[in-house]
Amino acid sequence: MEADSLWDILIVGTGPAGLGAAVNCRVREKSVILLGAEGGSERLMKAPEIKNYPGFPEISGKDLMKKLLDHAQGMGAVLERGRVQTIYPGDELTTVTRDNRLFRSRAVILATGIQQARLLPGEKDLLGSGLGYCATCDGPIYRGKEVAVIGESPEAEEEVNFLAEICSKVHYFPSYKGQGELKVDPRVNVYRVKPLSVLGEERVEGVALPDGKLPVAGVFIIRDVAAAEQIISGLKIEENSIEVDRMMATNIPGVFAAGDCTGKPYQAGKAAGEGLIAALSAVRYLDKKE
């Protein structure tokens, strides 16, 4: 399919849930694109020995990951490396990646794994009012102004350097390992503390630090894993998991979810099984529309 094709089903996440869903979408002959890490689930690959995945009495996480990837791709699912930043719901869903690629699909399955991202106090309320997740998209709004960037992954450094070119000052708060080798523009102020909250009533006014307030016009938060409600506005979350019904449907039409992102137990077998249900539900949703 062409880059600007309309896919039947777009799946976010290349772990057991996403790949389990992909296999079953392909069995039903739907076109499928998976967006996520090329090598699959970082979590599953950390499992030294899995003894409870049916059909494989003893298998390492790495080997199971390879089998899942080979199976899905062998059935014609297309896998693209990419971090999903935003999904715009609608009759046709538009998915935007962090590097600004656009994908169109008729249904979406979220298989993003455990919800790791904890929102900072103030973050939810100020989103879109001086707070954003993509400097490449929104950076130009802050030309000549002071901004703060909270980076939870080295990928943030590229965004920081872009902002350093256009903003009067960039304050950078990295919170990942390997900060000794930061590759940031010398004009950037680097901090070794974590902001406590984002400040402001109607708009961002600054960030709260352990020793006081840092006034800024804008704040960017760059995370490796975004919370699902950041990806799709209005998505219902309960106890830090995506709320789904028994058919893995979320509260947003055409959007389904499967695996660790829907809650406990956090297990590969449960993830793959929910992937299957989500796939069949997505297929039914598409068939009904036709």
Ligand X SMILES: Cc1cc2nc3c(=O)[nH]c(=O)nc-3n(C[C@H](O)[C@H](O)[C@H](O)COP(=O)(O)OP(=O)(O)OC[C@H]3O[C@@H](n4cnc5c(N)ncnc54)[C@H](O)[C@@H]3O)c2cc1C
- Dihedral of the alpha carbons of 168, 170, 171, 176, in degrees to the nearest 10: 180
Contact window for ligand X (CB under 6 A) among 125-133, 158-166, 184-192, 265-273: 265-273
Question: How big is the site for ligand X, counted in residues (CB under 6 A)?
Answer: 34
Which residue of 77, 107, 214, 226 would you call a contact of ligand X, by CB under 6 A? 226
Closer to ligand X at the Cβ: 231 or 244? Answer: 231
Using CA atoms, how far apart are residues 287 and 28, in angstroms rounded to an integer?
Answer: 11
The 97-136 site mask, x for binding ligand X (CB under 6 A), equals: --------------xxx-----------------------
Asked if 65 and 40 touch (Cβ cutoff 8 Å), the reply is yes
Q: Which is nearer to ligand X, 44 or 188 (CB)?
A: 44
Using CA atoms, how far residue 131 sits from 87, 175, 218, 263, in Å, is 18, 18, 6, 28
Q: Does 244 participate in binding ligand X (rule CB under 6 A)?
A: no
Question: CB of 239: closest distance to ligand X in angstroms?
Answer: 16
User: From the CB of 97, what's the least distance to ligand X, in Å?
Assistant: 8
Please spell the DSSP secondary structure of 208-248, one letter per residue.
EETTEEEE-SEEEEE-SS--HHHHSTT--EETTEE---TT-
Pick the binder of ligand X from 219, 271, 276, 277 (CB under 6 A).
Answer: 271
Distance between CA 173 and CA 156 in Å, rounded?
A: 10
Nearer to ligand X, 50 or 69 (CB): 50
Which of 242, 235, 251 has its CA nearest to residue 17?
242
Residue 290 and residue 277: Cα distance in Å, rounded? 20
Stretch that binds ligand X, among 48-56, 66-74, 101-109, 246-254 (CB under 6 A): 48-56
Element containing residue 189 per DSSP (H, E): strand 189-190
Strands 197-199 and 206-209, how do they pair? antiparallel
Task: State which of residues 268, 278, 280, 282 lies at the interface with ligand X (CB under 6 A).
Answer: 268
Identified binder of ligand X from the candidate list 122, 259, 263, 273, rule CB under 6 A = 259
Residues that bind ligand X (CB under 6 A): 12-18, 35-37, 41-44, 46-47, 50, 52-53, 83-84, 111-113, 225-226, 231, 259-260, 266-269, 271
